Amino acid sequence: MSKINILGISFDNLSKDEAVKKALSLIAGKSGDYICTPNSVILSMAGEDEKLKNAINSSAMVLADGMGVVAASKIRKTPLKERVAGIDFAASLLYELSLIGGSVFLFGSLPNVANKAAENISTAFPGIIINGVSDGYYYDEQELSAKINEAKPDLLMVCLGAPKQEMWMQKQRGKLKIGIMAGLGGSIDVFAGESKRAPLVWQKLRAEWLYRMIKEPKRFMQLPMLFKFICRATVKRGERHG
């Protein structure tokens, strides 16, 4: 399988369908490993944080969640097949698991939000088994681990935001009785209906990031990181052609 290095992060060059297929294989093998889905902001963060970079590169699969990452791969003349948005990857994986009576444990967001997400996932994917929910704010590490190990989920959705989720998954790899865990940022909020995805027209224009900033002004605080990412990607392009 080909890997593409973008600013120090080794991405798996997979389509969404290929990524889901690989995830199902990892689940079947009860790997206990983890999947990362970095976007441009996380990539920029990793450029200044070696521990985060190591956590991402140590994962079983790294997917490009962001058109900025895909654009950077094209700038470097090593294009990724496509963007694999974390929420789309999660939905497709949940669908496949629902067909075989698979299970999922939700970890992240606020208590009421996580529970709402569990309800909505059960409705959207009737065959799925929700065998655990834990918010990402008020939890005891040992109690959480015991709860997860008792549940033995096929998929552990870790939605703590970066860099916390990546560091947590790296620390827990091999210690939990799970199929696979995936760092999926705000996916629990989306499944709960607390955070809306951009309308399809914005997605087709590849401007979902702009829509989210308009709807969530706090995201404008990420602009410096995005600017750094663009600058680093441009400099790397110059290095390749210099």
String of DSSP letters for 124-188:
HSTT-EEEEEE-SSS--HHHHHHHHHHH--SEEEEES-TTHHHHHHHHHTTTS--SEEEE-TTHH
- CA dist list (Å): 34 to 114, 197, 229, 230: 20, 25, 25, 28
pLDDT of the residue at 96: 99
Strand partners, 9: 6
pLDDT of the residue at 81: 96
Rg of the chain over all Cα atoms, to the nearest angstrom: 17
pTM summary value:
0.87
pLDDT of the residue at 190: 94
pLDDT of the residue at 241: 43
pLDDT of the residue at 239: 47
pLDDT of the residue at 37: 98
Taking only the tens of pLDDT, the chain with its 242 residues reads 589 999 999 999 999 999 999 999 999 999 999 999 999 889 989 999 999 999 999 999 999 998 889 988 988 889 999 999 999 999 999 999 999 999 999 999 998 999 999 999 999 999 999 999 999 998 899 999 999 999 999 999 999 999 999 999 999 999 999 999 999 999 999 999 998 766 777 666 666 656 666 666 665 555 566 656 666 666 655 444 44
Task: For the sheet with 180-183, list strands across it.
Answer: 61-62, 33-36, 180-183, 155-159, 103-108, 129-134
